[in-house]
Amino acid sequence: MRKVLIAEDNAVNRELLRELLETRGYTVLEACDGQEALDMIDQARPDILLLDIGMPVLDGFAVVRKIRENPHLAKLPVVAVTAYAMQDDREKILNSKFDGYLSKPINPRSLMEELDRLLSQRDDRHAPNRSNGGQVDGKARAAGNGE
């Protein structure tokens, strides 16, 4: 079963994401700040991280930097989740070491497409013989997605 870690300081947002993900069969872990997120990644080894940018203790930019500095975690797919609508924030996110980007309020369909895309890329890298794992939902996507 796929494990998704939600790192988000807002309880309502965590609950919304949890419901969306559990309905679709994901196992959900939660962290309320950046340091807790790093600790949980160490302990629970999630398959993917949904990372809020604005969080206490360590913000999302600091968390993704620490993840990429750690050789054991460097390949963990990390999706930035943020309400920041400003163009520089978007650019800063795209220039940071994130694998994907979702803006709040979360569009359920975009969320699932990001998870499918990143988890199937991961399968391709780590398990080349396990094709047709049923993860991609019939929508084959071009690598790189044009961004």
- Please state whether 71 falls in left (phi above 0), alpha (psi between -120 and 50) or beta: alpha
Residue 36 makes contact with Mn ion by CB under 5 A = no
Q: Which two tokens stand for residue 17?
A: 């994401």
CB of 89 to Mn ion, least distance (A): 13
The site for Mn ion, by CB under 5 A, has a size of 3
Closest residue (Cβ) to Mn ion?
A: 54
Of positions 54, 59, 123, 135, contacts Mn ion by CB under 5 A: 54
For residues 97 and 116, give the distance between their C-alpha atoms in angstroms, rounded to a whole number: 19
Of positions 33, 36, 47, 52, contacts Mn ion by CB under 5 A: 52
- Contacting range for Mn ion; rule: CB under 5 A; set: 45-53, 67-75, 117-125, 132-140: 45-53
Q: Which two tokens stand for residue 26?
A: 């994901």
Say how many C-beta atoms besides its own lie within 10 A of residue 125's C-beta. Answer: 9
